[in-house]
Every structure is written in structure tokens, then in C-alpha cells.
Amino acid sequence: MRRFTTVLAFFVVMAITASACSNAKSGNDKKPEATQIASTENPSGSDKEVKPEFLTKETFKEKIWDFDKNPEEWVYEGSEPAIIDFYADWCKPCKMVGPILGEIAKDYDGKIKVYKIDTQKQRELAAIFQVTSIPAFLYIPMDGKPSMDKGFKQKEAFERIIKDFLLKE
């Protein structure tokens, strides 16, 4: 009887795990819309929503780095330091970090930019930065080279990186 209970428990755990994994990758999850990430008022009092901006290859080349024009040298095109979140719709930690980055975008509006890149749709950009696990983050200071990091982070960790690396306060 004990062996039967152990085998039954094993199959129950396997069924739950298989169900969770298939739900995560099935594509049935809704794409995180910008309004789900952050729908907040600008601290300046205007009705403008402050939220991360989604980048494509074309907008990346305009706003971040034109790697076709400068393939051997990092030339940042932006006017503020930036954080780029490499994510996928099926990734649970990516979904958890989305609202945090929405808060960061609101809290640091006018000081830093927050962008998102869907690694499933923008595979070339993910390959350029050798993104092999997500979430992954590219931190871009105004001066110097950008830095990559990966894994879920709490808001305090992002704030420390912003203070010490992006704004160098």
C-alpha cells in the first residue's frame, strides 16, 4: 500500500508540473499590454501615461544603437540612460518584473528610459546581446559601455543599479 501511495503521489506531481509547463508555453496567456505594465499619471500632473516602450529592430536602431552603421563601436543614440528588458510572453518571471519596470518608468520619468524587447519577435536583437535566458536586462549609461544582467529583480535592486551605474549619484 505504501508503494502504491508513493507511485500515485509521483504521478500527481508529474501531472501538475506538465500542466503548469504547457500552460506557460501554450500561448494562451495574454500578451502583456503596456497598460498592464504601468498605467500611471505623470508626476508632473499631466494625463500622459508613463510606461515602458516596446522596441523593434527598427526603433532599436533609431533610439539605442544603429549596429549596421556602427558595427564595431557602441554609439548610444539616446538622450537619457536606459534599461532594456528582454522578455517573452510565456515567461512567468518576465510577467512578474513587468509591473516593477512600469513603476521604475514612472518614478524615473525624465531621468531614464525603460524599454522592452520581445525575444520571440525580435530574435536578431536577442542574438546580438547573446540573450540565452530571460528576463535579461541591458543597462545603458550615457557614458561608457552598456552592461547585461539576467534574472528576476525586486524594485530595490533596479533602484540600486540606477543610482550606482546609470545616474552615478
Other CB atoms within 10 Å distance of the CB of residue 87: 26
User: What pLDDT shows up at residue 48?
Assistant: 67
Alpha helices in 51-154 (DSSP H): 57-63, 92-107, 123-128
DSSP at 113: E
For domain 32-166, the CATH superfamily is: Glutaredoxin (3.40.30.10)
Phi and psi based region of residue 120 (left: phi greater than 0; alpha: psi -120 to 50; beta: remaining): alpha
User: What's the rounded Cα separation, in Å, for the pair 88 and 25?
Assistant: 10
User: What's the rounded Cα separation, in Å, for the pair 139 and 149?
Assistant: 8
Cβ–Cβ under 8 Å, residues 99 and 107: no
User: What pLDDT shows up at residue 6?
Assistant: 37
Q: What is the pLDDT of residues 130-158, one digit of tens each?
A: 999 999 999 999 999 999 999 999 999 99
Radius of gyration of the chain (CA): 19
- Reported as a pLDDT band with limits 50, 70 and 90, residue 169 is confident
State CA 126 to chain mean position distance: 12
| Beta bridge partner(s), residue 147 | 139
Q: Which residues contact 55 (CB under 8 A, 6 or more apart)?
A: 63, 64, 84, 115, 116, 117, 122, 125
Predicted confidence (pLDDT) at residue 39 exceeds the cutoff of 60: no
User: What's the rounded Cα separation, in Å, for the pair 22 and 90?
Assistant: 10
Tell me which of 16 and 110 has the higher pLDDT. 110
Kindly list the catalytic residues.
Answer: 91, 94
Closest listed residue to residue 50, CA positions, set 30, 80, 77: 80
Cβ–Cβ under 8 Å, residues 80 and 139: no
Predicted confidence (pLDDT) at residue 9 exceeds the cutoff of 80: no
Closest listed residue to residue 158, CA positions, set 113, 111, 100, 110: 100
